[in-house]
Amino acid sequence: MASVPFDKLDGFIWMNGEMVNWADAKVHVLTHGLHYASAVFEGERAYGGEIFKLTEHTERLHESARILGFKIPYSVAEIDDACRTLLKKQGFQDAYVRPIAWRGSEMMGVSAQKNTINCAIAIWQWPSYFDPEQRLKGIRLDLAEYRRPDPRTAPSRSKAAGLYMICTLSKHAAEDKGYADALMLDWRGQVAEATGANVFFVKDGTLHTPTPDCFLDGITRRTVIGLAKKRGIEVVERVIMPEEMEGFEQCFLTGTAAEVTPVSEIGAYRFEVGEIARTLMNDYQAAVQPAHAVAAE
């Protein structure tokens, strides 16, 4: 799949209430979402023919749009149904699901209150966000130059397209140096997240993770916190300063694309792929399997 451009894939895309041939799912070059980043999206995964925590993701899509000042013209239930229908039409059991909503082309300028709100869903096969061999050994992260902004300067509680510009820049810079990803600090110099995933650390059997006050409190993040608590593992959400990484024993990332991915290195800091990281990696894989698949085992 990596060798085929995304606009050349086969199948269908759900777009504004209709199933459209993949190649025909197009927008005009003067779409507001392209010029001014007035777009919100979700990343979801299907396992065994079912989309994990679909409604939570769709509710967050609606909330992201509300924060950006527009209303998606399809209800949560309608988008959920469209996602399920498209997954079946694509014929996939395990796949990545990308709903997106954006302002259209009626007005071109910073102000665009009259623009039509568009919504589309694409589904494709995306087995692993990181190289599978790297993932088992623990991926290596660089320290990003760009920082997560003060929430008074950006709508940080929205999964908005514009917020990912510095993520792309940071991930490209890291990959150019041979790293898999980058760890971002926030505007205060505190540990925030990776470019597309939340971060956890382990010390003396306790999980430590940054308080999500200027970045997304990820759905996978919350799932893993729940799994850890079921195991009796203490979870502490708090301010984490970068120099504290010297004292942490394990580290891992969480996200829909990343799932649970151990980290072996962040800049000058080293971590082991330890029991807690491996356990939560396995627990998450078990949690995402649909009930019918578990019952069949």
Specify the pLDDT at position 267. 95
- Alpha carbons within 13 angstroms on the beta-carbon side of residue 206 total 10
- Alpha carbons within 13 angstroms on the beta-carbon side of residue 155 total 16
pLDDT in tens, the chain (297 residues): 457 899 999 999 999 999 999 999 999 999 999 999 999 999 999 999 999 999 999 999 999 999 999 999 999 999 999 999 999 999 999 999 999 999 999 999 999 999 999 999 999 998 777 777 777 789 999 999 999 999 999 999 999 999 999 999 999 999 999 999 999 999 999 999 999 999 999 999 999 999 999 999 999 999 999 999 999 999 999 999 999 999 999 999 999 999 999 999 999 999 999 999 999 999 999 999 987 554 444
- Residue from 162, 149, 122, 123 nearest 33 by CA: 162
**Angle between helix 54-67 and 76-90 (nearest 10):** 130
Specify the pLDDT at position 182. 98
User: Which of 114, 159, 177, 203 is flagged as catalytic?
Assistant: 159
Domains of the chain in sequence order: 6-124 (3.30.470.10), 132-287 (3.20.10.10)
- Residue from 21, 37, 43, 39 nearest 98 by CA: 43
Task: Give CA torsion, residues 139, 140, 146, 148, to 10 deg.
Answer: 40
What CA–CA distance (Å, rounded) separates 55 from 246? 39
Residue 26 appears among annotated catalytic residues: no
DSSP the chain: -TTS-GGG--SEEEETTEEEEGGG----TT-HHHHH--EEE--EEEETTEETTHHHHHHHHHHHHHHTT---SS-HHHHHHHHHHHHHHHT-SSEEEEEEEEE-SS--SS--TTPPEEEEEEEE----SS-HHHHHH-EEEEEPSS-BPPTTTS-TTS-BGGGGHHHHHHHHHHHHTT-SEEEEEBTTS-EEEESSSEEEEEETTEEEEE--SSS---HHHHHHHHHHHHTT--EEEE---GGGGGG-SEEEEEETTTEEEEEEEETTEE----HHHHHHHHHHHHHTS-HHHHHH-
